[in-house]
Amino acid sequence: MKRPNVFLMQVSEDGSPNVLRNQRYQNPKWSSKPRDKDHGNVKVGDLILMYFAGAAIDYKKQLRMVYRVTKVSQRNIEFQLKQEQEILPPLALDQIRENVRNKTLNDVFLNCGRQGFNISKIEYDDYEKVLLLSKTLPPASIIVGAEDILEDFIVNNWNPTIYFGKEYSGLKILEDRAGNLVGQQFDTKTVGIIDILCRDKQGDYVVIEIKRGSETSDAVIGQLARYMGWVRQNLAKNNSVTGIVIAGGHDEKLRYAIKAIPNSFLATYEMSFQIRLTK
């Protein structure tokens, strides 16, 4: 029996209500966006592996549902869907990224959570790996890790002047020639995945690494040095490369360690949540 084609799709604030409530998905502008070209290849009987982004109405930051396409409108503007399977426990964003890092999942899954990502065809074997991982991974925490929240916040509310100062005002998260955002979770293929890779108008690069709670200062410094070295050799040519580690609170060990790497800096963040009952 011939296997159906499988597509990894992301829905957010606009698309998720229609999918979850009406079992439909629309993208009237897909043909004008080269990155969405796979939208035009979807046919009746194909499977949609659905990732719900942080702004979705439910299942936020989870690879959660599998739909089968039951009808495709003219010019592939709208798909009618039927729920094929619910992935339980779902794969949370941090679990997806960790399994890309350890090469269990294909690099295409790095698109999950990336601003502007819509759809990409994946191999059936990759779809089966997701189902297998769901059975073997521990359930994800309801609250996504602070580092993932921070990374998405930085990318979706990009304002380098406020974050790092006026000298970084022209800094942008790296894009490819088609204008697709590729700097978030940038895969070097050889030395690891850079959390956020940026470039300014002069062509200088900035590597941003977010310190995760389980990482030691030495591990973060090693990562930053590797990433800066790779960018310098493979992308920057004669341009400069700066490294910034973003860590919660005041990590004195990290503060001393980062002084050993030229042109690198430490930034700190604070997070707070307030809940108030309104009448």
pTM above 0.85, yes or no: no
Domains, the chain, in order of start with CATH, read: 6-136 (3.10.590.10), 146-269 (3.40.1350.10)
Give the tens place of pLDDT for each residue, 154-174. 888 899 999 999 999 999 999
Amino acid at 189: K
Average pLDDT, integer, range 219-226: 90
d(CA 220, CA 207): 12
Please identify which residue in the block is written with the tokens 């592939």.
76
Phi, psi of 272 (to 5 degrees): -145, 145
C-alpha distance from residue 203 to each of 181, 239, 261 (Å): 16, 6, 21
Helices (H), the chain: 16-22, 93-101, 124-136, 146-156, 160-164, 217-231, 252-258
Give the tens place of pLDDT for each residue, 69-117. 999 999 999 999 999 999 988 999 888 988 998 899 999 999 998 888 9
Give the tens place of pLDDT for each residue, 126-155. 999 999 999 887 665 444 445 667 788 888
**Contact between residue 132 and residue 88 where contact means Cβ atoms under 8 Å apart:** no
